[in-house]
Each structure stands twice: as structure tokens, then as C-alpha cells.
Structure 1
Amino acid sequence: MKFITIKKSHFETDLLILKGRLESEGIVCFLKNQYTTQTMNYMPTFEVELQVLEKDLEQVQNLILEIENN
């Protein structure tokens, strides 16, 4: 299983809505660097990354397009 980053942000909250939507569709998600950015938020180089399984990437891209078009 390989995870692919689909979106990055300095703030975890920016990714939580999309993460929730993906999970409601049955897509496994992972927030990489979630705790690092909370404890080292003074360092602008750290970003939280929303990741999905490589096998779900096409479904995720279609869902993101649908969200952006509505």
C-alpha cells in the first residue's frame, strides 16, 4: 500500500472537511505530519499532508472535481 499526497496545508483544519468527505465515501485517508505541525507550528516549513491510497487516487480526483464544480 502506497499513500499519495493530494493536498497540503500549514493548518490541519484546512484539510479536515475534505478528509471527512472522503471518509464518508469509504476512502481511507491519513494526515501526515499532523502532530508535528501542532507542536512545531512556529516553523513554516512543516505542512500537514492529506494522503490517500494510490489505488483510490482516480476516485478521489473525480470527487474533488465534483466538489469544486458545486
Structure 2
Amino acid sequence: MSFITIKKSHIEAELLILKSKLESEGIKCYLKNEFTTQIMNYMPSFEVELQVSNIDLEKALEVLNEMNTN
């Protein structure tokens, strides 16, 4: 199983909201670089990445699209 980045942000809180929504729909998520950005927050080049497994990709994109339309 591989993980695919579906959204990037410098603002971790934004991705935590999306992660929570996806997990409530039964989709396992992972925040890549979560701790790196907390330690090295003075370097704007670091972004947190919201990742899902390739198996859940289609469902995750549907949930994100639904959130964007509301």
C-alpha cells in the first residue's frame, strides 16, 4: 500500500480539520512532515502533506470535493 498526497499546506490546523473529516468517513490519513514543521517552523519551505492510501484515494477526493462545495 502506498500513500498519496492529496493536499499540502503551511498551516497544519487546516489539514487537521480535513484529516478529522476523512477519518470520520472511515478513511485512514497521515500527515507527512507534521513534526518537522513544528520544529522548523521558521523555514517557510516546509509544508505538511495530507496523505491517504491509494486504496482510499477516490473516496477521499469525493469527501474533499463535497466539503469544498458546502
Corresponding pairs, count? 70
Paired AA for residue 55 in structure 1: I
- SS where residue 4 of structure 2 aligns? strand
Matches within 5 A, 1:1-70: 1-70=1-70
| C-alpha distance in structure 2 between counterparts of 1:62 and 1:11, whole Å | 22
TM-score (norm 2): 0.95
1:42 and 1:17 map into 2 onto residues whose CA distance is: 23
2-side partners of 1:11 and 1:63: how far apart? 20
Q: What's the secondary structure of 1:55's corresponding residue?
A: coil
CA RMSD after TM alignment: 0.7
After superposing on structure 2, the runs of 4+ consecutive aligned residues of structure 1 that deviate more than 4 Å are none
Alignment TM-score, normalising by the size of structure 1: 0.95
* Deviation by residue 1:5-53 (Cα, 9 ceiling, x = unmatched): 0111112111011100000011000000000000001111110000000
> Quick one: distance in 2 between partners of 1:32 and 1:3?
10
CA distance in 2, matches of 1:21, 1:66: 11
Q: Counterpart amino acid of 1:26?
A: G
